[in-house]
A = this chain, B = another copy of it.
Amino acid sequence: MKFGGTSVANVERIRAVAQIVKREADAGRGVAVVVSAMAGETNRLVELCREIGQPAPALDARDLEYDAIVATGEQVTSGLLALTMQQMGYRARSWQGWQIPLKTDAAHGKARIREIPEDAIGEAIDSGEIAVVSGFQGVSPAQRIATLGRGGSDTSAVALAAAIGAATCDIYTDVDGVYTTDPRIMKQARRIPKISFEEMLEMASVGAKVLQTRSVELAMAYKTPLRVLSSFDPPDAPGPGTLICDEDDIVEQNIVSAVTPAMDEATISLLAVPDEPGRAAKIFTVLADANVNIDMIVQSPSREAGHANISFTMSEADIDRAVSVLKEQQKTIGFSALQEDRDVAKISVIGVGMKSHAGVASVMFKTLADRGINIQNISTSEIKISVLIESEYAELAVRALHQAYELDKPAGGKEAS
């Protein structure tokens, strides 16, 4: 079981979480509980680091002390939840990353898990003790505290579940499942009862916030079923949530499972880049070095002969950094001008059914064209189509696509119609 920051925001919420843990323990299940820092706590600790003058880019990446400082947030929560379970008469203990030990590489601030020896914690759980684990943290080869980066507690939970051979990894959050689209945009959005790892991975990578990409990748690799559940449901009457599992375990399958909007996108266009080998490579090396993740890329002919315009999208949070490093390298790259556009949104349509059903793309393009929405950019995978459009049309596009793919109807609905 994993509980995020809003689920453990204060002592009252921790008590509510304890009731959910109690339900599982009372049902005779061995339980490991991974917890995040209390909501707001990580920000408070990051702010202390910033006050010291730790420059922002280093914060997410390199610094060992930053890791030692922010990891205390989870340490406090795991201690408090273990204490609560003890008060309720259960055997429970907290486990810090170094105590398991959850071994990571040395990439501080975004460390990757290398190994979780399951003997010590597995034995404790088998003996009936509830293991309360600090998420987001591990220990590096040099025995320093290493944090796993954004969403790291989900990753901790999935990796631990795989290591101890858990039947499921239940991610408790402030929503009651994965939805066909953002319910704030489309009130007919439907909770998806079951979805495949592949689809969930695409959803996470195009911007669905409910789960982090790395945790889904890991669950898929180890075939550990994930459940997304609400920690705000009554402990004795939990909702069914969303099960994320192998595609083969899903009987009723829509062709399209979800329409996922990403509002915080941005585009940079470099004009009149000399059309020579190595220029594009130079651009994307510079951006990768600055830790900017690039998504859609389009190259189009420039008015200037022998030159091309290159556009690419990224998260809006990264555009200032991207612009700054590109301008520094303007001479080497050789572009004449740089244009930014922050008023763009990426709308993605996701479904494993696309593999076997043609026409998904044409429905998408026709639906958007009928509403007069211009597509600036397209990218696809085997089970996903993403389009970049103007921000102001984003909600209209989501509603139109949700309706076009009949996502308001239960799975199998489209097949039967």
Inter-subunit contact A72/B76 (CB<8 Å): yes
| A residues at B contact (CB < 8 Å) | 11, 14, 45, 48-49, 51-54, 63-66, 68-69, 71-72, 75-76, 78-80, 82-84, 86-87, 93-94, 96, 98-99, 143-145
- Which chain B residue shows the least CB distance to A134? B68
**Across-interface contacts of A80 in B (CB, < 8 A):** 48-49, 52, 65, 69
Q: A83-B66, A99-B143 are in contact. Are A75 and B78 (CB under 8 A)?
A: no
**Alpha-carbon separation in the docked complex, A99 to B83 (Å):** 24
Inter-subunit contact A87/B45 (CB<8 Å): no
- Which chain B residue shows the least CB distance to A82? B65
Inter-subunit contact A66/B79 (CB<8 Å): yes
**Across-interface contacts of A64 in B (CB, < 8 A):** 93-94
Q: Which of B11, B52, B72, B98 contacts A72 (CB 8 A)?
A: B72
Inter-subunit contact B11/A48 (CB<8 Å): yes
**Alpha-carbon separation in the docked complex, A48 to B86 (Å):** 15
- Which chain B residue shows the least CB distance to A75? B72
**Across-interface contacts of A14 in B (CB, < 8 A):** 52
Inter-subunit contact B72/A68 (CB<8 Å): no
Inter-subunit contact B65/A79 (CB<8 Å): yes
Inter-subunit contact A68/B63 (CB<8 Å): no
**Alpha-carbon separation in the docked complex, A79 to B72 (Å):** 11
**Across-interface contacts of A45 in B (CB, < 8 A):** 76
16 A-B contact pairs sorted by A residue (CB < 8 Å): A11-B48, A11-B51, A11-B52, A52-B84, A52-B87, A53-B87, A63-B83, A64-B93, A64-B94, A65-B82, A65-B93, A66-B83, A68-B94, A69-B75, A72-B72, A72-B76
Q: Please provide the 7 A-B residue pairs with the shortest distance between their CB atoms, ordered closest to farther.
A: A72-B72, A69-B79, A11-B51, A68-B79, A65-B79, A65-B83, A65-B82
**Alpha-carbon separation in the docked complex, A11 to B53 (Å):** 10
**Alpha-carbon separation in the docked complex, A68 to B98 (Å):** 13
**Across-interface contacts of A99 in B (CB, < 8 A):** 143-144
**Across-interface contacts of A49 in B (CB, < 8 A):** 80, 83
**Across-interface contacts of A51 in B (CB, < 8 A):** 11
**Alpha-carbon separation in the docked complex, A53 to B11 (Å):** 10
Copies of this chain: 2
**Across-interface contacts of A71 in B (CB, < 8 A):** 75
Inter-subunit contact A65/B94 (CB<8 Å): yes
Inter-subunit contact B11/A87 (CB<8 Å): no
Q: Could you list 12 further interchain pairs (A-B, Cβ under 8 angstroms) beyond the known A14-B52, A72-B72, A99-B144?
A: A11-B48, A48-B76, A49-B80, A54-B87, A63-B83, A64-B93, A65-B80, A65-B83, A68-B78, A68-B96, A69-B83, A72-B75
**Across-interface contacts of A93 in B (CB, < 8 A):** 64-65
**Alpha-carbon separation in the docked complex, A54 to B87 (Å):** 7
Most buried by B among A66, A69, A94, A145: A69
Shortest CB-to-CB span from A109 to chain B, Å, is 13
Most buried by B among A49, A63, A80, A82: A80
Q: Which of B11, B69, B84 contacts A76 (CB 8 A)?
A: B69
**Across-interface contacts of A98 in B (CB, < 8 A):** 98
**Across-interface contacts of A54 in B (CB, < 8 A):** 83, 87
**Across-interface contacts of A94 in B (CB, < 8 A):** 64-65, 68
Inter-subunit contact B52/A83 (CB<8 Å): yes
**Across-interface contacts of A78 in B (CB, < 8 A):** 68
**Across-interface contacts of A84 in B (CB, < 8 A):** 52-53
Shortest CB-to-CB span from A68 to chain B, Å, is 4
- Which chain B residue shows the least CB distance to A38? B48
Shortest CB-to-CB span from A138 to chain B, Å, is 14
**Across-interface contacts of A48 in B (CB, < 8 A):** 11, 76, 80
**Across-interface contacts of A82 in B (CB, < 8 A):** 65
**Across-interface contacts of A11 in B (CB, < 8 A):** 48, 51-52
**Across-interface contacts of A65 in B (CB, < 8 A):** 79-80, 82-83, 86, 93-94
